[in-house]
Every structure is written in structure tokens, then in C-alpha cells.
């Protein structure tokens, strides 16, 4: 969904057009998944991803389709990518929103109005989809938030780095 700077829908846009050339501003989300001990689940993007393959994300990111809320799209991606069902949490919520634009060398661009959602799992059972997830890591969020340079070798996704620097609680 193409959007203006205030996240007002401007019509549909296909994924390739949104992510090539100078890109088209569009709606996106990232969901940060926590456990009850305050750890965040980092998920490595599969090596087959066109943009930011092999980079670490926190935890899923995607785009809602027309008529779908951020929460509905997030529930769908949590289930599809990690096997996380809604009965494992009861606190999914939007905590923040920001706009950013980042180019991925020789491949494309992300130009998104990105909602940040947060969820805490009561049950941390996971069933990752290998086509989406290349690896997983539970990290102490406070340590990550206060010391992001220590995690640079993970090659963090740009939208996750932005979300992590903001106050989304």
C-alpha cells in the first residue's frame, strides 16, 4: 500500500515497484517478539531474501495488504514465519511508527512508513520456516538497546536499528 508521509493510503503498489529505483513510500511493519524474561527474539533473514538477506531482524517484518490492519498482518507473519499462534500471546500492540529510506547496494530500496509492534510470548515454542528464517537468537533486550555496537557483527536490518533506538514501550 503506497502511503503519504502521514501513512494515509494512496493506492496499491506492487512489491517490486516499491523496492526498485528510488522506491515508492509504502506501509510496513516490524514486530519485536519478547519472552517473559525481557529477551528479544532476533531472526536472521533467509539467504534467499532479495533485500537484507542474512541480516538480523527483530523479529518479523513485512507489509500489510489492502484492507488488512497492522495487527492482522503481524499475526499472519508470526504464524507463517515462526509458527507463533495468537494463543501464545495476548498483548500484540502498535507502539511506534517512523518513516525511513535506505538503499541496499545494487538490489533495491526500502522507503517505508514502518509501524513497530511488540508482543510478549507466554509460550516460546517456535516452528520457523526455513524459506523465511536463516537463524534465531534470544538476546537480552536491555543489553542490546544500551550496547548496539556489540551486535554490529550480526548485520542488523536498518528498520530494526531504527526501532531499537526509539522508545516503544
Residues labelled catalytic: 112
Torsion of CA 37, 39, 40, 44, to 10 degrees: -130
Query: How is the chain classified by DSSP, letter by letter?
Result: -EE-TT--EEE---HHHHTSTT---EEEEEEEEEETTSEEEEEEEPTT-SSSTT-EESSEEE-PPTT--HHHHHHHHHHHHH---GGG-S--EEEEEEEEEEEETTTEEEEEEEEEEEEEESS------TTTEEEEEEEEHHHHHH-GGGGGGG-B-HHHHHHHHS---
Amino acid at each position: 500500500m503506497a502511503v503519504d508521509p502521514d501513512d494515509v493510503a494512496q493506492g496499491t503498489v506492487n512489491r517490486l515497484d516499491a523496492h526498485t529505483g528510488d522506491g515508492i513510500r509504502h506501509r510496513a511493519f516490524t514486530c519485536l517478539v519478547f519472552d517473559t524474561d525481557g529477551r528479544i527474539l532476533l531472526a536472521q533473514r533467509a539467504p534467499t531474501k532479495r533485500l537484507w538477506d542474512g541480516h538480523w531482524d527483530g523479529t518479523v517484518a513485512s507489509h500489510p495488504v489492502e484492507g488488512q490492519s497492522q495487527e492482522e498482518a503481524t499475526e499472519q507473519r508470526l504464524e507463517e514465519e515462526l509458527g507463533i499462534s495468537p494463543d501464545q500471546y495476548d498483548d500484540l500492540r502498535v507502539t511506534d511508527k517512523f518513516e525511513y529510506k535506505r538503499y541496499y547496494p545494487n538490489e533495491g530500496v526500502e522507503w517505508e512508513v514502518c509501524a513497530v509492534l511488540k508482543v510478549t510470548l507466554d509460550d516460546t515454542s517456535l516452528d520457523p520456516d526455513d524459506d523465511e528464517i536463516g537463524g534465531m537468537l534470544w538476546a537480552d533486550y536491555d543489553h542490546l538497546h544500551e550496547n548496539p555496537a556489540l551486535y554490529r557483527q550480526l548485520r542488523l536490518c536498518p528498520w530494526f536499528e531504527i526501532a531499537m533506538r526509539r522508545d516503544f514501550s
